[in-house]
Amino acid sequence: MKLADILTPLALIATVAFCMPNTVAHAQEAPKLKITPLQKEPLTGQPDKEVVALIVEWPPGSGTGLHTHPGDEYTTVLEGEVVGRKEGSEAKTYGAGQSYHNEPGVVHEANNKASAPAKTFNVFVVEKGKPVSEPAKR
């Protein structure tokens, strides 16, 4: 048996094994949210807080993952549907025209589980200088 007869199948196996995790990772990667900042202003009378307004576009299958905010989040669904869930609670679906509120420090997530895109208008009243959102600590 020639060395090439042994190495060729091994090279093929190594190539498939190397490429497979990359293919699986790409296939499982969720679509990214598109965030468009609209406004960031100090909150009148409260110099330690600011108001941040954004539009979020949710491709089908996209989501936030579990996270918290250092202040209040107010969201109105403009188009499509968004499924929100606070940790320890049942998920709730919000359609166009519906709104929801997440309190500071509450672990929650939101997803677009539908086959159509969604769009939300989000307003945050947060502590100045802190990120608007942080991944939930485990």
User: Which tokens is 136 given?
Assistant: 């939930």
| Sequential pLDDT tens for the chain (138 residues) | 443 443 333 333 333 333 444 444 445 688 999 999 999 999 999 999 999 999 999 999 999 999 999 999 999 999 999 999 999 999 999 999 999 999 999 999 999 999 999 999 999 999 998 899 999 986
pTM for this prediction: 0.78
- Which residues fall within 8 angstroms of residue 73, CB to CB, at 6 or more apart? 101, 102, 122, 123, 124
Burial (CB count within 10 angstroms: exposed 0-12, middle 13-18, buried 19+), residue 71:
buried
User: Which tokens is 14 given?
Assistant: 């190594």
User: Which tokens is 22 given?
Assistant: 């990359």
The pair phi, psi for residue 6, each rounded to 5°, is -85, -45
Q: Which residue has the tokens 């499924």?
A: 83
Sign of CA dihedral 115, 117, 121, 123: positive
User: Which tokens is 37 given?
Assistant: 């900042």
